[in-house]
Chain A
Amino acid sequence: MALTDPLSDIELVQEVRNGKRQAYTELMRRYQKRVYWVARRIVGNHDDADDVVQETFVKAYLALGDFRGEAGFFTWVYRIAVNLALNAVRKRQVMNYLRESELLSNLLPSPEDPSAGVEAEELDSAVRRAIDILPEKQKAVFVLRYYEELSYEEIAVILKTSVGGLKANYFHALRKVQDYLRNEIQAGQTHDRRGRGAVAPG
């Protein structure tokens, strides 16, 4: 008995359109990890990434009628995920601003609060901090190219921009991250030397 080939994304989309909800679960199963990691690298924490993944699949499901199949399903889903992730970053920036300006200091948990859901490992990641300081577009290009290793053509479809512009953005993003990491390492080494000097017997 020959094993049946798994359905392609387009076939699954067609199944969903025909009312087979299980086909959409299969699509989610295929892409949820990739969507999660794109989101997590953009937003920088698990909780927001988790929310972005769910919201991405809800939006994609509700808009499935608009999906024409010109780009791949995953490209289309990536576009939704990147936009939602960038929105989440913007929202967090506004919340941080409000928190800093003490407008909501009594209502919002402080970043040090464990219930804020920020994982310690992420706070300690220099790459994470380097990505955080990148402008939105560079952040998205960096994540999609550096981590996901997508082609410029795919990223151009996802971000709806030109390949030339993407290359320039990626170059600047790499340089900024490189500079940031060098500075971090240099600062760490200086700190270590001072630390050793302080404890050394005089």
Chain B
Amino acid sequence: MKFRQDKHTIGEDEERSLRDDVRRLAGTERPPQDPPDAYWQNLLIRSNARIDAASSGRALSISWALRVALPGVIAIVSFLIGLHYYVPEVPKEDFSVAAVVLSLPAATIDSLLVDPSPVDPSLSVAELGVDLFDLSRDQIVDYLLTAGNASAAVEGLTEGERSELLAALGTNRQ
């Protein structure tokens, strides 16, 4: 069951009567003593000192913000903006053919078959405009024969080429 909350408000007479009764009941008690005059003067001094300390603390923090924190933040933000927009552009390196070839392992260089005559080592890969590794079948066969690997060269021949080769060898024998 719920009870209504007591919303009693006090009338002037009722308040006066109640207050007088409380004063009468408390009347026998000695009220707390008022501090001496010197205390009030001293309190003024101490309050002023505390205000000085508090306001100088605030002034210090404002001064600190202006002298240290704000420039610091501006410097950091400027640095980040600079980093974002003004990163020095690294020019694209245009490697020369010689540099590319020399960067390869020795075994790979051996496997390359490049006709050096049209290729000036000073030319860049871009200037050359060819894929160094896109070799023709004839170049590969020539390389294999030059390197003494005839069987590998024969493996790379077509049936027709093999017949033609055998016929030529037969002619030579005859």
Contact A185 B25 (CB under 8 A): yes
Contact B30 A178 (CB under 8 A): no
Any chain A CB within 8 A of the CB of B162? no
Neighbouring A residues of B15 by C-beta, 8 Å:
167, 170-171, 174
Contact B44 A29 (CB under 8 A): yes
Contact A168 B25 (CB under 8 A): no
The proximity string for A residues 1-36 relative to B, scoring 1 for CB distances below 8 Å and 0 otherwise, is 000000000000000000000001100110011001
Quote the shortest CB–CB distance from A154 to chain B (angstroms).
Answer: 16
Contact B10 A170 (CB under 8 A): yes
Neighbouring B residues of A67 by C-beta, 8 Å:
none
Contact A57 B51 (CB under 8 A): yes
A46 and B43 in contact, given A25-B48, A54-B50, A170-B15 (Cβ under 8 angstroms): no
Contact B30 A32 (CB under 8 A): no
Interface core residue of B14, B29, B30, B55 (most chain A CB under 10 Å): B29
Contact B9 A171 (CB under 8 A): yes
Q: How many CB-defined contacts (below 8 Å) exist between A and B?
A: 86
Please pick, from B6, B14, B22, B47, the residue contacting A177 in the complex, using a CB distance under 8 A: B22
Quote the shortest CB–CB distance from B140 to chain A (angstroms).
Answer: 90
Quote the shortest CB–CB distance from B163 to chain A (angstroms).
Answer: 106
CB under 8 Å from chain B, chain A span 135-190 = 146, 164, 167-168, 170-172, 174-175, 177-178, 181-182, 185
Neighbouring B residues of A181 by C-beta, 8 Å:
22, 25-26
Contact A171 B18 (CB under 8 A): yes
Any chain A CB within 8 A of the CB of B32? yes
Contact B32 A125 (CB under 8 A): yes
A50 and B43 in contact, given A170-B10, A171-B8 (Cβ under 8 angstroms): yes
Give the contact-size bracket for chain A.
35 or more
Please pick, from A40, A119, A125, A170, the residue contacting B29 in the complex, using a CB distance under 8 A: A125
CB under 8 Å from chain B, chain A span 102-121 = 119, 121
* A27 to B80 alpha-carbon distance, docked (Å): 51
* A58 to B47 alpha-carbon distance, docked (Å): 7
Contact B43 A32 (CB under 8 A): yes
Contact B51 A58 (CB under 8 A): yes
Q: Which A residues fall within an 8 A CB radius of B? A: 24-25, 28-29, 32-33, 36, 40, 46, 50, 53-55, 57-58, 61-62, 119, 121-122, 125-127, 146, 164, 167-168, 170-172, 174-175, 177-178, 181-182, 185
**5 A/B residue pairs, CB under 8 Å, sorted by A:** A53-B47, A127-B26, A167-B9, A167-B10, A170-B10
A-B contact sample (18 more), CB < 8 A, given A61-B54, A174-B22: A29-B40, A36-B35, A40-B32, A46-B35, A58-B50, A58-B54, A62-B51, A62-B54, A121-B33, A122-B32, A126-B26, A126-B29, A164-B9, A167-B10, A168-B9, A171-B10, A175-B18, A181-B25
Q: Which B residues fall within an 8 A CB radius of A? A: 6-10, 14-15, 18-19, 21-22, 25-26, 29-30, 32-33, 35, 40, 43-44, 46-48, 50-51, 54-55, 58
